[in-house]
Amino acid sequence: MTEEILDMELSSGIAAFEAKEFARSAALLGPMADDGHPEAAYRMAIMCQNGLGMAVNESRAFACMTLAAEQGMAIAQHGLGFMYMEGECADKSANDALMWFGKAAEQGLQGSMTTMALMYEQGNGVDKDPEKAKALYKKAGFEDAMR
């Protein structure tokens, strides 16, 4: 397929996703995700994880989210971090969660910085570390989050 056709299919698949036409979106984005396209893979992961337009498929959700995350997509890195943090679609692992949240945070994703700060503030899978939590909140722009 030409790049122009791929762009049109991706745009159509994303538009269907945004319009909550998940079965149509999956039909358009599924083959692109299988071919390694990160945008398509990220949305397929969301649909597979939540059973949107299809039966829940945790293994495909994990595979698609990992594919997009490994290609540097910050929101997918954040999503993969949550999969590990919550033990959804992946074995629960605070270390893996922190690694993926960290990669997204390096790209400026405030949600990942805040999630990491909460993990350190609450001792969620890690040793409590108020200083790390404060530094992460500050980096995320929430300087007064901890007192």
What are the residue ranges of helices labelled H in 1-147? 3-18, 22-34, 38-50, 58-70, 74-86, 94-106, 110-122, 130-140
The count of residues in the chain is 147
Predicted confidence pLDDT, tens digits, the chain (147 residues): 577 776 889 999 999 999 999 999 999 999 999 999 999 999 999 999 999 999 999 999 999 999 999 999 999 999 999 999 999 999 999 999 999 999 999 999 999 999 999 999 999 999 999 999 999 999 999 877 665
On whether the pTM is more than 0.85, the answer is yes
Confidence at residue 147, expressed as pLDDT on a 0 to 100 scale: 57
- For the chain, how long is the longest CA-to-CA vector? 56
Q: What does the domain layout of the chain look like in residue ranges?
A: 1-71, 94-147
